[in-house]
Structure 1
Amino acid sequence: MAHLSGTPSSLPQDYAILARFANDHDEHHGDEVLPVIEDEQLSPTASVSSMQKDYLTSSIPNSTKPVPSGDSNLQAPAYASETTPLLGPPIPRIEENVDFVSCEGRSRASMYWEETKILFKYSLPVFGTHVFEHSIIMTSVISIGHISTIALAAATIGFMTANVTGLSIIQGMASTLDTVLPSAWTSGQPQLVGLWTQRMTVLQMFVLIPIFFTWFHGENLLLMLKQDPEVARLAGTYLKWASLSLPAYSFNCISRRYFQSQGLFAVPARIIIFVAPINILLNYLLVWGPDSVRLGFIGAPIATSISYNLISIASVAYGLFFVERTAWHPISTRCFTSLGLLARLSVGSVGQVASEWWSWELVGLAASFLGPISLATQSVLLSTCSCTFQAPYALGIATSVRIGNLLGEKNATRAGVAANAAILLSIALALFLSSVLLTFRKTWGYMFNNDYEVVTLVAAVLPLVALVQVFDDSGAVISGILRARGKQTLGAMINISAYYCIGFPIGLWLCFKQDYQLFGLWWGLNIAMTWASSIGIYLCVSTDWKREVAKVMARLAVDKAYERQREDEEHATN
């Protein structure tokens, strides 16, 4: 699920890698989206306002084909390129030929197979993006890991603090765009993709202020939490230099969704593949390079900051020179409107992402009370989950974009098929990953640590980790489906109940009271994820997708009216 969100990983999970190196040394108007239209307010037969009805029945391109869902009263746009400029009737869309084949009379199996292939195609570049971005963090970890044990501990504490106080919040806010951008792209108003991107950028600029303040006072915060003074000092220094990456990190999370909503999944991957080797070189030069450029400990966060800023610059350049500006909205004062509505939408998204990130940090913290062997083992297990999670997380993003596009096209049937196909694909992926872990469980720990006790304990607990994969991987896709539906708050409530009300308390009880130790913590995680995934799957497979289409149309109705009013005013002025 969202606990590792692809980039940067939640970093007790990297303790094992850190321990290995330590051992080496030691031994317009708020209007564009109506954010919440509850199910009970909008039944399939519910009437809509005159403004919404005007949008729903407004003329769509003259050249149309029957909607694949078989709904005779809906029309789909003619086949057009994803980068076709909006100069006339054609509505931009992500090209998938199957969208124009009527679903009526077709077998479910054939449609499931088609959606599975589409989701797989979308997921691959997203997976590559997050794997390489994960490498940026790991390069920094490895660089610092060779300095000293104290530096290693300080960097780890700095990573954890950054995740909890900043990065999880930024990622959560940016995921709000998964709700509004894909459907806007295929709605006939693709310029709203650019407008909502601008608004999220403005909103995150305000949110970065308290994050900067927290990171600049990180040492005092860690001292209040009774950390070792030297570790707190170095961790505070790390956070100060890492803050140079905050604006770029925020922008990258937003720009990635801007590209992905248009089907340009490969763009972020190409950019980060270009930057990742530069990041490795920068880490070497600034941490271990010649005296003229070597900075030591602070070289790692500086190298990471430079890399994130390079990604931002490359994203802007790519968007300006290599992508049609169909989705772009001219910069205007409208980017400062509807921020309150966007903030309310973001609260649920932050809750959905941060609730899971923080729960895994707490699990890592609990393991630290079990002794060095258990802590190192937990580090191996969390690092394993971090790596295996990249694939289902990419599938979840691809699912969110695919469903959002289909809802914007009013294609209810295909949206439902895509959601169910994604869940089945996640289960198949989880079973494959689980089988890999079980097959190599006796030697798995040696990839991270050479301590025999650690490797033995890893082999003993790894079956529970393999079981976690089944529920965690499906949870990543469920989160994507809920984001496409605008149900982030519901996802946050499920996570909070699963982790903090059920799983974590049971895990602590089994760990410390029943003396199951590390096994108890992982049983708690399994219980939490079973609860969350079971509820999530039920909610997703029972979704009324025609109702979801109506909600999307309602969210876009005010925009349509505003644009028409503006055009009428301009016409009257001229």
Structure 2
Amino acid sequence: MSHQHSTSQSLPHDYAILSHFNDDARYYQDYLPSVADDEDEPPHPRGVPIRRVASMTDVSERTPLIKHDPPIPRIYETTDDSIYGEPSNERIPSAQMFQEELGILTRYSLPVFATHVFEYSFILASVICIGHISTTSLAAGTLGMMTASVTGYAVVQGFASTLDTLLPPAWTSDTPHMVGLWIQRMVAMTAFGLIPILALWFNAEPVLLLLGQEPEVAHLAAVFLKYAAWGLPAYSFNCISRRYFQCQGLFTVPARITMLIAPFNAFLNWFFVYPLGLSFRGAPIATALSFNLVSLASILYGYYFVPRTAWTPIGREIWNDWGLLARLGIAGIGQIVSEWWTWEITGFAAGMLGPVTLAAQSTLLITASLTFQAPFALSVATSVRIGNLLGEGKSRRAAVVAQISHVIAAAIGCIWCTAILIFRTKWAYLFNGDPDVISVVSAVLPITALSLVFDGINAIAAGVLRARGMQGVGVLLNLSAYYILGIPLGFLLTFYFGLHLAGLWIGLTVGLMYSSVAAVWIGVMRADWEAEVGRARARVGGKGKEGI
């Protein structure tokens, strides 16, 4: 038993463990006679009502020791309701498991999708407001946002993805309080990691000038970054806090908070830029304020409305196991950043082909970004579900989730691919009216549409690798897929063979095909899910001895 369980502060954690061992008996509790309502029962000093069984004749090996009113929350799915636990699940046909997990993943994915779409609207509102000031302002705002994404947001998201590996199995294991401990460690380590990023953002102008940007654009982009920096700590905390909720099955909490703040953010952007007269700097100020409001709402909701089962008092253990966080975090950063930088490189290459090609590439990138939101949400849901199942020891069902999520991603990709191919001559009109741009977009869209299928599968495979703690494999696959195969092939086809923008997208598609096939083979087909249960439990227990 760990030190936490031997102290006076550990009583709620012990209740969580007892409730975990007595999950199967919860269906019989309402039928057991109780004397709690008939006798004067002394209140528990922690305020947790306890019901006692009337007599020993009602006690069996499945009778719960303690009953909470209300019970300590856990993630309960209809698929988990068997009173026989995992052995009964082993008798369930795979087809039935597929059907059950399809519903669960869909229910998990929808609020994650809403969360990311509305969070993306924070950035979109800034770009729209800035774009109406002047062309120079739009260029500076785009440069500032691109710099912020590459040097800050992508890094934060990659580092926070470590929690996709650690939190879900911790919540469903015998030590759910480890969720809170890993959150504390992640917040502390992220705070140190933000120092060099903030230093860059507050001194960005000379760096941008050194990279050859026009002085006026570099100055305004630096102003954008300076004010956006006040929202970066909150953005980082939001990436962490949403995983705190999601690992407990509270997917709708981040979605509701973001949906509530999103229209207020749009209003603030307009109000600060125009009526208040802050002009260009008003947009990043409004967005930074909105990120901080999301953080404040998350803290208040977590404190007042979520039971403390997943929390633990802040103590000296917050400084332990930073090596495990660092290894997973650096790999997570590499996995996310290597992919984000790919799109920036292709955008730069398209710009070398002229303004028409650059405009067409912008339309294609927006298309890819919009269609990617659904598989990305599914990848988050997949990571959480697999992690929860590994924590519970349900290896076979975890394997089924890994398989069905790829089937769903392929289906989503095929739907998008078909729709875009049908409307490819009209699709570009949603973003641009230039006939030359529309012609280029229509010609390249079939290749882009095909890439969406493999991009979605690749996203799910990355989610499975995160759930298994294999972010390092994801980094190697991305580096080989994009920087050894995809980008060099795209540049060769574009500039040597004269295929122009189509060449870039052929290279990207080939890279995505290779990455998705390799990731599915490594992450799903060759996985030993029984062994993954042991590895997951060892990681969340803070041992940090498993292979990463």
Q: Report the TM-score, using the length of structure 2 for normalisation.
A: 0.86
Aligned length: 488
Residues 453-488 of structure 1, C-alpha deviations (whole Å, 9 max, x = no match): 111211111111110111000111111110000000
Aligned pairs for 1:562-573 (under 5 A) are none
Aligned residue identity for 1:124: L
Determine if the alignment matches structure 1 residue 116 to structure 2 residue 121: no
The counterpart of 2:450, out of the listed 462, 467, 472, is 467
User: Which position in structure 1 is the counterpart of 2:91?
Assistant: 105
**Contact 2:171 / 2:388 at 8 angstroms: preserved in 1?**
yes
- Superposition CA RMSD, Å: 2.2
| Greater relative contact order (CA < 8 Å, ≥ 6 in sequence) | 1
Deviation track 1:180-231 (CA, whole Å, cap 9, x = no partner) reads 0000000021111111011100001001100011111211111111111111
Asked if residue 178 in structure 1 is aligned to residue 179 in structure 2, the reply is no
Which residue of the partner structure matches residue 211 of structure 2?
225
What's the % identity of the aligned pairs?
51
What secondary structure, in the 3-state scheme, does the structure 2 residue paired with 1:543 have?
coil
CA distance in 1, matches of 2:501, 2:27: 55
Change (3 A) 1:438 1:428: same
SS in 1 for 2:248: coil
Residues 356, 495 of structure 1: 8 Å contact kept: yes
After superposition, the Cα gap between the structure-2 partners of 1:246 and 1:558, relative to the gap in structure 1 and judged at 3 Å, is closer
CA contact under 8 A between 1:179 and 1:483: conserved in structure 2? yes
Alignment partner of 1:147 is 2:147? no
Q: How does 1:283-302 map to 2 (within 5 A)?
A: 283-289=269-275, 293-302=276-285
Q: 1:558 to 1:79 in 2, by over 3 A?
A: farther
C-alpha displacement at 1:59, in angstroms?
9.0
**Paired position in structure 1 for 2:189:** 203
2:58 corresponding residue in structure 1: none
CA contact (8 A) 1:61 1:78 kept: no
Match of 2:261 among 265, 275, 279: 275
| 2-structure distance, mates of 1:542, 1:340 | 27
> Which of 94, 97, 115 is the matching residue for 2:75?
94
**Structure 2 gaps, min length 5:** 5-16, 29-47, 51-65, 83-87
Contact 1:183 1:409 in 2 (8 A): yes
Q: How far did 1:542 drift?
A: 2.4
User: 1:432 and 1:287 mapped to 2: Cα distance?
Assistant: 40
Aligned AA (2:399): G
User: Quick check: 1:78–1:91 contact (8 Å CA) kept in 2?
Assistant: no
- Which of 329, 348, 351 is the matching residue for 2:312? 329
Please tell me whether residue 305 in structure 1 is matched to residue 288 in structure 2.
yes
User: Which residue of structure 1 aligns with residue 63 of structure 2?
Assistant: none
Superposed CA deviations along residues 423-460 of structure 1, whole A, max 9, x for unmatched, are: 10110111111111112111111111111111121111
Equivalent residue number for residue 165 of structure 1: 151
Report the AA paired with residue 80 of structure 2.
D
State the AA in 2 paired with 1:320: Y
> What amino acid is aligned across from residue 547 of structure 1 in structure 2?
A
- Which of 63, 73, 80 is 2:22 aligned to? 63
Distance 1:514 1:501, change over 3 A: same
Unpaired runs of 5+ residues, structure 1, are 1-27, 32-57, 66-76, 561-574
Shift of 1:97: 1.7
Q: Does 1:538 align with 2:529?
A: no
Residues 328, 59 of structure 1: alpha-carbon distance in 2 compared, 3 angstrom cutoff: closer
Contact residue 395 and residue 530 of structure 2 kept, 8 A = yes
Runs of 4 or more above 6 Å deviation: none
Q: 1:413 to 1:79 in 2, by over 3 A?
A: farther
Question: 1:185 is paired with a residue of what secondary structure?
Answer: helix
Q: Which has the larger displacement, 98-107 or 140-149?
A: 98-107
Q: Which amino acid aligns with 2:104?
A: I
Aligned match of 2:337: 354
1:388 aligns with 2:367: no
Q: CA deviation at 1:79?
A: 6.9
What is the correspondence of 1:461-540 to structure 2 with a 5 Å cutoff?
461-539=444-522, 540=524
Separation in structure 1 between the aligned mates of residue 528 and residue 343 of structure 2, nearest angstrom: 33
- Residue 217 of structure 1 aligns with an amino acid whose one-letter code is N
Partner of 1:418: 401
- Pick closer, same or farther for the CA change 1:169–1:183 going to 2, 3 Å: same
Cα distance, 1:103 vs structure 2: 2.6
What is the alpha-carbon distance in structure 2 between the residues aligned to residue 251 and residue 209 of structure 1? 15
Does structure 1 residue 445 correspond to structure 2 residue 428? yes
CA distance in 2, matches of 1:409, 1:174: 23
Alpha-carbon distance change, 353 to 534 in structure 1, aligned in 2, over 3 angstroms: same
Shift of 1:404: 0.2
Change (3 A) 1:409 1:78: farther
Whole-angstrom CA distance in 2 between matches of 1:123 and 1:365 = 33
Distance (Å, rounded) in 2 between the aligned partners of 1:543 and 1:485:
9
Do the aligned partners of 2:321 and 2:542 also contact (CA within 8 Å) in 1? no
Which moved further from structure 2: 452-461 or 490-499?
A: 452-461
